């Protein structure tokens, strides 16, 4: 019996990305059903046939995008990252009237998972990573999320200067690394909320110290 920690020589990946509105809706329905079955029945009971049946799509249509449930998981993780990056852009970058503190708090809440409606994550995803992601894919996601910090502060015009890349990377490691560890130990909702609030305070203090020279 294979172990989900064992990394195959060729990692599964989605075959194509949807471009038309109808195709995007179909893939979203597949993702939603994938999460629903996983939550209800567990990873081991997830099958592509069960997903297609419950999502109301043909098995062949599902296979056009995801040839296996591992490929589907890879696509879902990528989808989660893209949804998260879009939320950061819409909520912390694009608004014109936010202070740097408000932008930072929004960014940290999103990265901490305090905005629960964004995407569903499960501790088993950490175990599944070797099956679906090479180091280069991990690095791509890391760089994209670190880039979100740079985008947020690029529009924080009420700061006299920009935080250094070293400061932003340290904060990103603290927040994103903390979220991954929180998943691993399965913190409950109350503990996650408290941690997210503390991380907001910590990050604001770090920026005040690094940029404004104020450590109070």
SS3 track for 67-78 = CCHHHHHHHHHH
- Mean pLDDT of the chain, nearest integer: 86
Domain membership of residue 124 (yes or no) is yes
pLDDT bracket for residue 214 (50, 70, 90)? confident
Q: Within a 10 A sphere around the Cβ of 51, how many other Cβ atoms?
A: 25
- Largest Cα span, the chain: 60
* Per-residue pLDDT tens over the stretch 106-137: 999 999 987 765 566 676 777 777 776 677 88
Report how far residue 108's alpha carbon sits from residue 98's, in angstroms, rounded to the nearest whole number. 15
Report how far residue 71's alpha carbon sits from residue 77's, in angstroms, rounded to the nearest whole number. 10
Domain membership of residue 7 (yes or no) is no
Domain of residue 49, CATH code: 1.10.357.10
Report how far residue 72's alpha carbon sits from residue 27's, in angstroms, rounded to the nearest whole number. 10
Domain membership of residue 197 (yes or no) is yes
Structural domains of the chain, count? 1
Domain membership of residue 13 (yes or no) is no
Q: What is the pLDDT of residue 147?
A: 97
Domain membership of residue 54 (yes or no) is yes
For the segment 127-148, the average pLDDT, to the nearest whole number, is: 84
Domain membership of residue 116 (yes or no) is yes
118 and 90 in contact (C-beta within 8 Å)? no
Domain membership of residue 67 (yes or no) is yes
Q: Which two tokens stand for residue 39?
A: 């939550």
For the segment 97-101, the average pLDDT, to the nearest whole number, is: 96
Q: Give the domain extent around 65.
A: 21-212
Report how far residue 208's alpha carbon sits from residue 197's, in angstroms, rounded to the nearest whole number. 17
* Per-residue pLDDT tens over the stretch 12-60: 656 667 768 888 899 999 999 999 998 899 888 889 999 999 999 999 9
Domain membership of residue 9 (yes or no) is no
């Amino acid at each position: 019996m294979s172990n989900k920690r064992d990394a195959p020589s060729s990692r599964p990946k989605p075959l194509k990305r949807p471009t038309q509105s109808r195709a995007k809706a179909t893939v979203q329905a597949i993702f939603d059903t994938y999460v629903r079955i996983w939550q209800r029945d567990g990873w081991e009971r997830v099958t592509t046939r069960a997903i297609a049946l419950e999502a109301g799509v043909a098995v062949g249509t599902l296979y056009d995008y995801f040839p296996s449930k591992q490929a589907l998981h890879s696509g879902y993780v990528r989808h989660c990252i893209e949804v998260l990056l879009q939320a950061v852009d819409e909520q912390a970058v694009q608004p014109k009237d936010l202070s740097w503190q408000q932008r930072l708090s929004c960014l940290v809440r999103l990265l901490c998972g305090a905005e629960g409606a964004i995407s569903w994550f499960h501790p088993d995803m950490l175990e599944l990573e070797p099956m679906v992601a090479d180091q280069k894919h991990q690095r791509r996601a890391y760089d994209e999320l670190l880039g979100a910090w740079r985008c947020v502060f690029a529009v924080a015009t009420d700061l006299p200067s920009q935080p250094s890349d070293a400061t932003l990377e340290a904060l990103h490691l603290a927040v994103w690394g903390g979220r991954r560890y929180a998943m691993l130990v399965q913190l409950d909702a109350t503990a996650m909320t408290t941690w997210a609030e503390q991380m907001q305070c910590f990050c604001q203090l770090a920026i005040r110290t690094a940029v404004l020279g104020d450590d109070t």
